[in-house]
Amino acid sequence: MISKYQLKTGAILAAVLPGIFVFSVSSGKEALLRFIFSFCCILSFWVINFALVDFSCLWNNKKETGKLLWRIMLSTLLAIVVFVVIGFADESKLLLSQVKGDLMYSPKAWFYLILRISLLNGLTILIKYFYDLSAKSRRVELELETLKRENLMALHESLKQQLNPHFLFNSLNTLKSLVKQHQGQSLKFIDELASIYRYMLVYNGRPEVTLDEEIRFLESYVGLLQIRYGDAFTVSIRIPPSILAARLPPNTLQILIENVVKHNVFSQKRPLKVRICEESGFLIVENNLQFKKTDQTSGVGLSNISNRFEILKGKGIIVEKNDLFFKVWLPIGD
């Protein structure tokens, strides 16, 4: 009830408003009594309006406008009745001093008294309007935040569904080539591939994993590549233990390494070297650039990774490229 009617705020307002005027025009016992009666009146106005008047119909259902006007009129009538009843309850008639004595039978005196009560109640109604408007704004913000979160989750799931088939397609092509060229290593490759998909089944349902988990998965994936390419392909991982608890989207590093292999030419004489390290809150994946001249990249892999970091970290990746190297900066800091 206290929360619904905002009684704490109402009590403060009921104490401040009469306090400004009462103690400036009277003192002693008279001021105290006038303050108590005024406090009771204003707090009553507050409860009446929070119980009867609801401005949410203005933006939810315009057909309720007429009903709202009737409620405002009813609250004003009740405010007048409450004020007069409390005023007559006080033998000194401090609240009804405007109609005291001979003025009791003066329509003009009663008109000004009712006008004063109506204006005071109108101030309470105005405050109630701003409360309802603020509640509407908070509700809209909550709905937008919920919708945004649901859209991000849907986008995240969509991006993961794009990545998994891409990885499977490339893995099967690698296995096909390996079976033709190195049948003795095919079983080892299949075991490593099963280990990788075990990781994907466990962690791909999560929006993020620890860097430690991702590195251990990457080592299995790199092992598959080195079965096929030998010394023509190397990966150097130098990451301080202090950042292994950092979080990032699953399969991020695997996708980057996959892109490196896909878009570069390399051999025993011209090895492809990948370096993974940390710098200034970023995880850096860098490789020497030996780009395939006839290759045209779609940019889907990097775009998907960047979108996933936007969702989880609020900022995307940074891509740096020149004639010698290709570098991707992944934000992993808070």
Give yes or no: residues 102 and 243 share one domain. no
Q: What is the pTM of this model?
A: 0.51
Q: What angle do CA 274, 280, 282 make, to 5 degrees?
A: 50
- The answer to the question of residue 156 being in a domain is no
**pLDDT by residue (tens digit) across 308-319?**
788 777 788 999
SS3 category, 324: coil
- Per the structure, the count of domains in the chain is 2
- 196 and 135 within one domain: no
Phi-psi region of 256 (alpha: psi -120 to 50; beta: other; left: phi over 0): alpha
| H-state helical runs in the chain | 2-5, 7-25, 28-52, 57-60, 65-89, 107-181, 186-203, 211-229, 252-263, 300-313
Whether 191 and 136 share a structural domain: no
For residue 175, being part of any structural domain is answered with no
pLDDT by 10s per residue, the chain, length 334:
445 567 777 788 777 776 544 444 455 666 677 777 778 888 888 888 888 888 877 776 666 677 888 888 998 899 888 888 887 776 666 677 777 777 777 888 888 888 888 888 888 888 888 888 888 888 878 877 766 665 566 555 555 555 556 666 767 777 777 677 666 677 777 777 777 777 777 766 677 889 999 998 888 888 878 877 888 999 999 999 999 999 988 888 988 998 898 889 999 899 999 999 999 889 999 999 988 876 666 566 788 788 878 877 778 899 999 889 999 999 987 6
199 lies in which domain range?
182-331
One domain, residues 121 and 206? no
Of 143, 170, 192, the domain-final residue? 143
In a domain, 224, yes or no: yes
Considering the domain boundaries, does residue 208 fall inside one? yes
- 139 with 186, same domain: the answer is no
Q: Are residues 321 and 202 in the same domain?
A: yes
Q: Looking at the domain assignment, is residue 163 inside a domain? A: no
| 255 & 307 share domain | yes
Residues 197 and 82 in one domain: no
* Domain match, 135 and 42 both: yes
Residue 104 within a domain: yes
Count other C-beta atoms under 10 Å from residue 155's C-beta. Answer: 14
Residue ending a domain, choose from 143, 174, 190: 143
Asked whether residue 193 is domain-assigned, the answer is yes
Domain end, chosen from 118, 143, 168, is at: 143
pLDDT per residue as tens digits for the range 190-214: 777 777 777 777 766 677 889 999 9
Task: Please tell me whether residues 223 and 112 are part of one structural domain.
Answer: no
In a domain, 172, yes or no: no
Q: What are phi and psi of 327, to 5 degrees?
A: -135, 135
**Is the domain of 291 the same as that of 210?**
yes
Sole residue written with tokens 């940390």:
278
Look at residue 209 and give its three-state secondary structure: strand
We report the CATH number of the domain holding residue 205 as 3.30.565.10
Name residue 274's beta-bridge partners.
235, 287
Query: Is residue 41 domain-shared with residue 124, that is, in the same domain?
Result: yes
